[in-house]
Copies of this chain bind each other. A is one copy, B any other.
Amino acid sequence: MATDAEPAANGHQISKLDGKAPESTDYANYFCTYSFLFHQKDMLEDHKRTGAYYNAVMQNRRQFAGKVVLDVGTGSGILAIFAAKAGAAKVYAVEATSMAKHARALVEHNGLSHVVEVIQGTIETVEVPEKVDIIISEWMGYFLLRESMLDSVLVARNRFLKPGGALYPSHARMFFQPMRSNSSHQRTAEFQRSMEGWAEFTQEMRNYYDVSMDCLNDSFREEQKEYYMQTTAWADVHPGQLLGPAACFKEYDLATVTLEELAAPLQESFTMQVMDGGPVEGFVGYFDVHFRGSKENPTDFPVQLSTAPDPTGATHWGQQSFSLWPPVQCAPGDSIVGQISVTRKKNNHRLMEVEVSHQVMTQGSGQKAALRLNKYHIE
């Protein structure tokens, strides 16, 4: 009894959570990923990411000078170090995993122990000894919301941020954009190969052991269809694949969004113009975040971190590819109108279920084609 897909050592592969795992499991698995320097390095050397945070802090030193800062999920401690370098009077750097000890070493090695205090624990349970002027955090997951770590930032905001204090980043947006992609073809072909493999397998089981497995055909098909056709994939989309402008379907103001709003399903409508016509073989989903400070304490130099398709290559988040099979046929100038819903998985609130209902609206006439509904898992 062993599977070919065993846990790799050192966190080079990570967790698939069981639907029946208790909340505590989720935490344990979630955090373990971030306790390896290998992963910290991966994130740090994404210089679009690290550089955007560096710029957001160092180009706005006036906002940090003499302030009290809280870094939620500090990891290696890098954002806390930036804040200290920018002149913060005090930085509390909270980290749940054993990475905290490395953060402490890094802070000391860079001569910032008198400013940065690393606290190991979850933000939900630690005590920070004073209210803070700024909360900085790199909390974004795939398609923005995966991992649900924004919850922890809001808990920190509610517990520790002074009135008028600023969140870095301060805003986040989510996008959908129509694209051309042969991943839908590929995944369809892989799905078909997998089903052929199943057919051979059930034949063998009958021949060798006189056991008929046919009653599981549909269940296997469902399992494989979900894996190949209904699970979004990490993608580094080239802008040349895009068939029309992006539709921003959601913006979060981190100063005002509530935990209740995050816990509820996200339901938004969108309209995407398909400039170049179809076939539209997928939707690409991604996010950006903005560093604008707070209303009372705006940044001098707003900074943006975008994960949009980019000819120089993707951030470590890439984009999420939502395959469409069969592709959506439409003429140049037609639009795709629809609704997207993003729901946390019941049994693991860090993973997501997405439903996209959409239909083609003909340019000028406003006539709508048949409504299609696609379901996806963000795992």
Contacts and interface: CB of A to CB of B under 8 A. Distances in A.
A66 B16 CA distance: 42
B13 A5 contact: yes
Contacts of A227: 9-10, 12, 38
A16 B51 CA distance: 30
Contacts of A379: 6-10
Interface in A188-234: 197-198, 201, 204-205, 208-216, 219-220, 223-224, 226-227, 231, 234
Interface stretch (A137-145, A250-258, A264-272): A137-145
16 contacts: A1-B34, A1-B139, A2-B43, A3-B42, A5-B14, A7-B14, A7-B15, A10-B224, A15-B15, A18-B29, A21-B29, A22-B28, A37-B223, A41-B220, A106-B213, A109-B212
Contact of A110 (B12, B29, B212): B212
Nearest to A104: B215
Interface in A43-63: 43-45, 47, 50-51, 54
A181 to B, nearest CB: 18
Contacts of A215: 105-106, 108-109
Interface stretch (A77-85, A155-163, A170-178, A334-342): A77-85
Interface of A: 1-22, 24-25, 28-29, 31-39, 41-45, 47, 50-51, 54, 73, 75-76, 78, 81-82, 85, 98, 102, 105-106, 108-110, 138-142, 146-147, 149, 197-198, 201, 204-205, 208-216, 219-220, 223-224, 226-227, 231, 234, 316-317, 351, 377, 379
A276 to B, nearest CB: 30
Contact of A204 (B20, B33, B45): B45
Count the copies: 2
B28 A18 contact: yes
A317 B28 CA distance: 28
A376 B36 CA distance: 18
Contacts of A41: 197-198, 201, 220
Which 9 A-B pairs give the minimum distances between C-beta atoms? A18-B32, A10-B227, A21-B28, A109-B215, A9-B231, A9-B379, A7-B16, A25-B25, A18-B28
A80 B223 CA distance: 24
Contacts of A139: 1
Nearest to A217: B37
A17 B7 contact: yes
A226 B9 contact: yes
A2 B142 contact: yes
Contacts of A18: 28-29, 31-32, 35
A2 B214 contact: no
Nearest to A220: B37
A334 B108 CA distance: 52
